[in-house]
Structure 1
Amino acid sequence: MIKKTTFAFLLFVASQISQAQYKYPSTPERPVTDDYFGTKITDSYRWLEDMNNPEVQKWFKDESDYTNSIVKTISGRDILFNRMKEIQALGGDSYGFIKQVGDIYYYTKNKKEESIYKLYSRKGKSGAEILLIDPNTIKKGATITTFNISPDNKKLAVSISEDGAEVCDIKIMNLESKTFLADRLTPVWSEFNFEFTPDSKAITYTQMATGDNKSDDFLKNMKSLLHVIGTDPKTDKILASKANNPELTILKEQFPEISFSNDYSHIILNIGSTKNEEFSFYASISELSKSKINWKPLIKYEDEITASHIIGDKIFFLTHKNAPNFKIGYTSLKNPDFNNAVILVPENDKVIRKLRKSKNFVYYNLSDGINQEIFQVNAKTLETKPIPLPMGSNAGYALNPRQNDDLIFFNSSWVTPSTDYDYNSVTGKLVKSTQLTSNGAFPDFGKDYIVKEIEVPSHDGVMVPLSIIYPKNIKMDGSTPCYITGYGGYGVSQYPHFVGPALMTLLEQNTIVAFAHIRGGGEKGNKWHTDGMKAKKPNTWKDFIACSEYLVNEKYTSKEKLIGNGISMGGVLIGRSITERPDLYKVALVEVGCTNTIRMETTPNGPNQIPEIGTLKNEEDVKHILEMDAQSKVKKGVKYPAVLIRTGINDPRVTPWEPGKFAAILQNYSSSQNPVLLHVNYVNGHHSSDLDVTFNDEADMYAFALWQTGNPKFQIQK
């Protein structure tokens, strides 16, 4: 009895030491107990979920102010931010998406001395540049998310968001006068498709039920609409919705999106969700003028198709049905039969990724996990040939799939900025881009860094790819800080790409950067994804732990120098890694992270996650969701790493209270002397298109991590 009392007293003392060192804002515990099919979980921070409550709003502001009072005083923090800006400027002007209509090129560009992308046009690739839209003139904090040009080249539609909220307005510009029309279509989501009709007189778009990300109707019950330009949006015709089209069995959390075939002969209705597989319908373009469109089934979930494109009378598709590494086929659009389709590219030992189109060709990537070759297929003759790009990680897109076969490709690696290429599929001519491409000159980063691509055995013997980037001059004695990141969700793959100004700045601080290609991603095909979903989700963080242990065991770094990172769904990854192995990491950076999965389904964006993690309505799923839930795994008296948790107050994807609650429980429960800070950005959402906002967040995180791993240049200023 005495021993138990003494042990309890020691835990109490340790906790008091931690609390004495960091005077966190007070966070009362108000327990609420839920019964999940017989498993009772007590949540002491449920009250923080009421983001409309002034007490909660004050708590977030107090946490933000407290974090800033520490992080902003770390010596070297401003040096990181300024260096990120310098590296960005070294690359010169950077270009976003480029679209071509006739001989006019439209594109977004971020000039090297600026922080946001503006929209420009020019006649011919070398023509005089004309500024069309500066978001700053619309509203402070506004950014461009995407745009489209009418077929007659007389109108431009652009979606604008504010402060990272991702809820946008679509505005329409008269290109002759460079003025906006009165039309304002809102609210729309930043990633949704909108297109002009063939006659350029109307636009199709998907409207949200509400733009309020605190509402239960947020990201639910959306409608695909047809807006005739110049009319009142209230009179827009419904093309598809759950209420208007019960025969389509659209779920309230699914997204109806409209597009047109290359030749405008057909309308395609895709029912979007977080599932990779397509679910779609189609109709003749003549149906657009009818009061209600007669949608015909096109692709079902059971076809397991992840991409499809219509060219002429064929529909080309990418599928993993009976082919974990994917295969490509085609079938007749007049009578689609995916089960008896012609297979153009059978499954092989490499993973087939992406499926793009231009006017007369389709394109696909063949990946070994590092290098990506790109091939083109003539839609008429079915002749297939490789595009002669250099070895490496290759990507690209068509400039106008309806008008021509011109593409732009990007070849890059972890420490080599992208080299852009112009390509024409008809002539086969491939040349380095000289226009509409970065005009800067990065130094040769490759001479200072080594890149290793290896595989590490995980807990079950499965080999997990790990990319390691490190300065040539480091000592393999465990003394070097190492930042390791991963994602592991939705089948998303992390192929080699230039790490960019932020991580390059971190590398320059004599820090290793590593990417763990864990299960739940798609690097090794569809099975790699499904082996990190639902019941198999623990593979995600166990793979990450295995990669982290490898870096320690091989003396790239040590436990006192290891920095773990996870973003968004990667919050499950890093949250469970530090709750399962709190001894392994010195620092955890949790960015807009899903750390309270057992409560996610109650959030506006929660039902969208059901295909990936499961539902609270299913007893078997609940067991696995509880296993993913990092918050409920935090235990009193455990020594957790130093943790910086980042959220954006306007985040529409991971509601701010989820990371907030994780910060609260760690602050109250951890017995270590490591700080736990909540970084709240009031001009950001899940992410930002404003580079200054992004670089400021990253400078704060990296300064915190370098401080905690003992870098003498990054210490609290007295």
Structure 2
Amino acid sequence: MKNVFLTGCLFLSQIGFAQFNYPKTPEKPATDDYFGTKITDNYQWLEDLKSPEVKTWFKAQSDYSHIIIDKIPNRDALYNRMKQVQEMGGDSYGYATQRGNLYFYVKTKKNEKLSKLYAKDVSTGKEILIFDPETYKKDAQITNFTVDTKGNQIALLFSKSGSEICELRILDLKTKKFLDDVLAPIWSEFNFEFTPDGRYITYTKMSTGDPNSNMLLKEMKAMIHQIGTNQDKDIVLGAREEYPELNILTEQFPEVSFSDDYKSIILRIGSTKSESPVFYAPFSSIKDKKIKWKQIVKPSDDIVQTFISGDQLFFLSHKNAPNYKIGLTSLSNPDFDNAKVIVPESSSVITSIHSSKNYLVYSLSNGIIQDKYLIDLKTLTRKKAPLPSGINNSVALNARENDNLQCYNSNWLTPATFYDYSPENDKAIKSKYFNGDSNYPDYYASYEVKEVEVKSHDGTMVPLSIIYPKNIKMDGSTPAYITGYGGYGISSTPRFSNRLSVLLEQGTVVAVAHVRGGGEKGENWHKDGMKAKKPNTWKDFIACSEYLVNQKYTSPSKLIGNGGSMGGVLIGRAITERPDLFAVAIAEVGMTNVLRSQNSANGANQIPEVGSLKDPEDTKHLIEMDAQSKVKKGIKYPAVIVSTGMNDSRITPWEPAKFAAVLQNSTSSGKPVLLYANYENGHFTSDLEVVFKEYADIFAFALWQVGHPKFQPAKK
């Protein structure tokens, strides 16, 4: 293999030339028949991540990309500026959990790269470092934590180098030592919770921790563990094999939680589909050999969240209400068709609900402003929390014992701020505990925010957020970065980004396209970007990009398109449909090969969103959204940087890699196509050192390609 890959001295001479001599990627044709449509894939051999040839290829591509990028001037300046902006924000905090006078939370100090776990005694203001993950294992990161009811134990979920395959440890808060219990493997997003006596903990166990196994996210089990015993003695509370009557699919994940009053156990059968089956049982049955679960929610009920209080079952549903409604029925005999509507559907979207001791809290959003409202659980009366304008989120500090809320306010140009809110005095006060000593500049003095709606291909008006320098020349000469997502009903709401603020400082326009597939305009907006209607996602993105060009914010030679994860469909199909519209495309850990991604461990989980290859009609639409198979030889594609985390189990590294390979072997533009394979990352990471280095590289590449004078390598 060594004669296939070039040496560094040859790389260095290429920077100033049009052609790029990439590490060779052989074409090894494999043809799949999709219900009569035959598609040849030359790069399926890259899917064998255990192959020495494939490993060598990835390393060569990574080395090649770094040698190219390392010659771009001012890349280090971007990295250093990101660190400076982080420090200007002061220490950053996560949401807190309250037990008595103690608040537990993770904090990243302004000059550190990782979050550590702290506790603060609010009666004295004294802060204590509870746990530093760097003392645990190399590259360990705290992914999540939960505290028992009495504040004696804390369960910590750890990941490594951005991997989402985690292990759970239990820390004795009196001795500051770990108990012997080690629970693994656990996926990063799954719930875990102590029983009220602190003797047991529930969690969801994965069937394997092998990131290359096709069983990675299949056959998962909801478990209960008795603290102080071996994991192999844990009892299954919900799983496909042990509970066949629950009709759990292989790829679904069962999660157990408890009602706030500890009267009920709740089993949710999760997936990428929000409308999940939900079951319950009396808490007294938790130690039964087999729990007799009673189903209370079916997927056809269109319910995405529930909250149980005694025999009251509150629910958030989009059934006959695309912008959602909140209803109330009986837990023991639920009747959703005749339930009491507590909050009817309106022109704004109800995005979520959560509880405190005496209230149900919900969010009402128009996509740009999100307000918080509270429903009194006894009287069912409603009131609005007096929070600042912007996107407001909240959590209960201790939902079982009080109504204290920790609220989080964000805007495009205003760094996020925590507020403490108590319904008793109905006052929201800027938190004295959870805001760093920020020293940010006044971004509103230098930048404008414009919210517009753009007519898409079918006449639908698509929201577009544009942040631009006040001194912009509206002549098309300004670089612009436009990003979008469009999946799972997730909304791209306003939030301040340290990274994007550094991009703004380079004189770049930053735009966010709120394309269909997201949830900005309710469930219909989501459905209009799914399966057969998925083309709306990238066509909306193209329309928003054209708007920036037509209004002279930028021009095609200055336009940078971005999409990540499910947004890989968006950016991949945008540049294959309109390669002339973009100067640069950034595909971050992207789903660019949906025809093959269902062969990956996480593939079956995507079926509710994109469709199934076992269904002929779905398959037609999957073929349409598959970016890799749309790449044609001889087309002038933009400069492209494709990133992948080598520890990524959501989008397996071979999927972005194949997209980079086909573009390298096909484009005739002479513009670079780089595979940025990060061996210290997964789908994402909380290690800011890794994050800043990667984005400094990616942004420098993009600014080089749009002709930014500060980022032009010296020609040889």
Q: What's the counterpart of residue 266 of structure 1?
A: 264
Q: What's the counterpart of residue 439 of structure 1?
A: 437
Contact 1:467 1:515 in 2 (8 A): yes
Q: CA deviation at 1:563?
A: 0.1
Q: 1:659 to 1:126 in 2, by over 3 A?
A: farther
Secondary structure of 2:38's aligned partner: strand
Contact 1:314 1:332 in 2 (8 A): yes
Q: Are 1:208 and 2:206 counterparts?
A: yes
Q: What's the counterpart of residue 679 of structure 1?
A: 676
Secondary structure of 2:665's aligned partner: helix
Q: Are 1:562 and 2:559 counterparts?
A: yes
Secondary structure of 2:96's aligned partner: strand
Q: 1:271 to 1:433 in 2, by over 3 A?
A: same
Q: CA deviation at 1:685?
A: 0.4
Cα displacement string for residues 381-425 of structure 1 (whole angstroms, at most 9, x for unaligned residues): 101011111222211111111111000112221011112210112
Q: Are 1:624 and 2:621 counterparts?
A: yes
Aligned residue runs from structure 1 range 569-608, under 5 A: 569-608=566-605
Quick one: which of 696, 700, 704 aligns to 1:703?
700
Q: CA deviation at 1:441?
A: 2.3
In structure 1, C-alpha distance between the alignment counterparts of 2:180 and 2:553, rounded to whole Å: 59
In structure 2, C-alpha distance between the alignment counterparts of 1:550 and 1:605, rounded to whole Å: 35
Q: CA deviation at 1:113?
A: 0.6
Cα displacement string for residues 643-662 of structure 1 (whole angstroms, at most 9, x for unaligned residues): 00000001010000000000
In structure 2, C-alpha distance between the alignment counterparts of 1:352 and 1:203, rounded to whole Å: 32
Alignment coverage as a number of residue pairs:
702
Q: Which amino acid aligns with 2:101?
A: D
Q: What's the counterpart of residue 236 of structure 1?
A: 234
Q: CA deviation at 1:278?
A: 2.6
Q: What's the counterpart of residue 3 of structure 1?
A: none
Q: Which amino acid aligns with 1:715?
A: Q
Aligned residue runs from structure 1 range 389-538, under 5 A: 389-498=387-496, 500-538=497-535
In structure 2, C-alpha distance between the alignment counterparts of 1:215 and 1:291, rounded to whole Å: 31
Contact 2:18 2:671 in 1 (8 A): no
In structure 1, C-alpha distance between the alignment counterparts of 2:260 and 2:18, rounded to whole Å: 65
Q: What's the counterpart of residue 6 of structure 1?
A: none
Q: 1:125 to 1:627 in 2, by over 3 A?
A: farther
Q: What's the counterpart of residue 216 of structure 2?
A: 218
Q: CA deviation at 1:151?
A: 1.2
Q: What's the counterpart of residue 336 of structure 2?
A: 338
Q: Which amino acid aligns with 2:184?
A: T
Q: What's the counterpart of residue 8 of structure 1?
A: none
Q: TM-score, normalised by structure 1?
A: 0.97
Of stretches 708-717 and 251-260 in structure 1, the one that deviates more from structure 2 is 708-717
Quick one: which of 545, 549, 558 aligns to 2:546?
549
Cα displacement string for residues 53-88 of structure 1 (whole angstroms, at most 9, x for unaligned residues): 000000000000000001122101000000000001
Q: CA deviation at 1:692?
A: 0.9
In structure 1, C-alpha distance between the alignment counterparts of 2:71 and 2:308, rounded to whole Å: 56
In structure 2, C-alpha distance between the alignment counterparts of 1:126 and 1:87, rounded to whole Å: 31
Contact 1:392 1:411 in 2 (8 A): yes
Cα displacement string for residues 108-164 of structure 1 (whole angstroms, at most 9, x for unaligned residues): 000001011000112226532111111111112110000011112111100000011
In structure 2, C-alpha distance between the alignment counterparts of 1:410 and 1:250, rounded to whole Å: 36
Q: What's the counterpart of residue 117 of structure 2?
A: 119
In structure 1, C-alpha distance between the alignment counterparts of 2:395 and 2:62, rounded to whole Å: 41
Q: What's the counterpart of residue 7 of structure 1?
A: none
Q: Which amino acid aligns with 2:655?
A: E
Q: CA deviation at 1:213?
A: 1.6
Q: CA deviation at 1:20?
A: 7.5
Aligned residue runs from structure 1 range 98-113, under 5 A: 98-113=96-111
Q: What's the counterpart of residue 193 of structure 1?
A: 191
Cα displacement string for residues 492-518 of structure 1 (whole angstroms, at most 9, x for unaligned residues): 0011111x2110000000000000000
Q: Which amino acid aligns with 1:273?
A: S
Q: What's the counterpart of residue 46 of structure 2?
A: 48
Q: Which amino acid aligns with 2:76?
A: D
Secondary structure of 2:155's aligned partner: strand
Q: CA deviation at 1:311?
A: 2.1
Q: TM-score, normalised by structure 2?
A: 0.97
Q: CA deviation at 1:288?
A: 0.5
Cα displacement string for residues 318-344 of structure 1 (whole angstroms, at most 9, x for unaligned residues): 100001111111112222211111001
In structure 2, C-alpha distance between the alignment counterparts of 1:465 and 1:487, rounded to whole Å: 13
Q: CA deviation at 1:18?
A: 12
Q: Are 1:90 and 2:91 counterparts?
A: no
Cα displacement string for residues 407-456 of structure 1 (whole angstroms, at most 9, x for unaligned residues): 01122210111122101123323211111222222121111100000000
Q: What's the counterpart of residue 159 of structure 1?
A: 157
Q: Which amino acid aligns with 2:406?
A: I
In structure 1, C-alpha distance between the alignment counterparts of 2:63 and 2:603, rounded to whole Å: 29
In structure 1, C-alpha distance between the alignment counterparts of 2:515 and 2:265, rounded to whole Å: 38
In structure 2, C-alpha distance between the alignment counterparts of 1:269 and 1:391, rounded to whole Å: 36
Contact 1:163 1:684 in 2 (8 A): yes
Q: Which amino acid aligns with 1:48?
A: L
In structure 2, C-alpha distance between the alignment counterparts of 1:126 and 1:550, rounded to whole Å: 55
Contact 1:171 1:183 in 2 (8 A): yes
Q: Which amino acid aligns with 1:632?
A: S
Cα displacement string for residues 159-189 of structure 1 (whole angstroms, at most 9, x for unaligned residues): 0000111111100011100000100000000
Secondary structure of 2:540's aligned partner: helix
Quick one: which of 362, 376, 380 aligns to 1:378?
376
Q: Which amino acid aligns with 2:357?
A: K
Q: CA deviation at 1:637?
A: 0.2
Q: Which amino acid aligns with 1:685?
A: G
Cα displacement string for residues 451-482 of structure 1 (whole angstroms, at most 9, x for unaligned residues): 00000000000000000000101100000000
- The percent of aligned pairs where both chains have the same amino acid is 59
Q: What's the counterpart of residue 692 of structure 1?
A: 689
Q: Which amino acid aligns with 2:354?
A: R
Q: Are 1:641 and 2:661 counterparts?
A: no
Q: Which amino acid aligns with 1:447?
A: A
In structure 2, C-alpha distance between the alignment counterparts of 1:446 and 1:111, rounded to whole Å: 26
Q: What's the counterpart of residue 10 of structure 2?
A: none
Cα displacement string for residues 541-577 of structure 1 (whole angstroms, at most 9, x for unaligned residues): 0000000000001100000000000000000000000
Cα displacement string for residues 296-337 of structure 1 (whole angstroms, at most 9, x for unaligned residues): 001110110111111232111110000111111111222221
Contact 2:481 2:508 in 1 (8 A): yes
Secondary structure of 1:97's aligned partner: coil
Contact 1:18 1:674 in 2 (8 A): no
Q: What's the counterpart of residue 5 of structure 1?
A: none
Q: CA deviation at 1:198?
A: 1.3
Q: What's the counterpart of residue 661 of structure 2?
A: 664
Q: What's the counterpart of residue 64 of structure 2?
A: 66
Q: 1:273 to 1:125 in 2, by over 3 A?
A: farther
Secondary structure of 2:87's aligned partner: helix
In structure 2, C-alpha distance between the alignment counterparts of 1:527 and 1:344, rounded to whole Å: 22
- Structure 1 unaligned spans of 5+: 1-15
Q: Which amino acid aligns with 2:512?
A: F
Quick one: which of 701, 706, 712 aligns to 2:709?
712
Contact 1:17 1:673 in 2 (8 A): no
Secondary structure of 1:697's aligned partner: helix
Of stretches 303-312 and 658-667 in structure 1, the one that deviates more from structure 2 is 303-312
Cα displacement string for residues 39-62 of structure 1 (whole angstroms, at most 9, x for unaligned residues): 000000010000000000000000
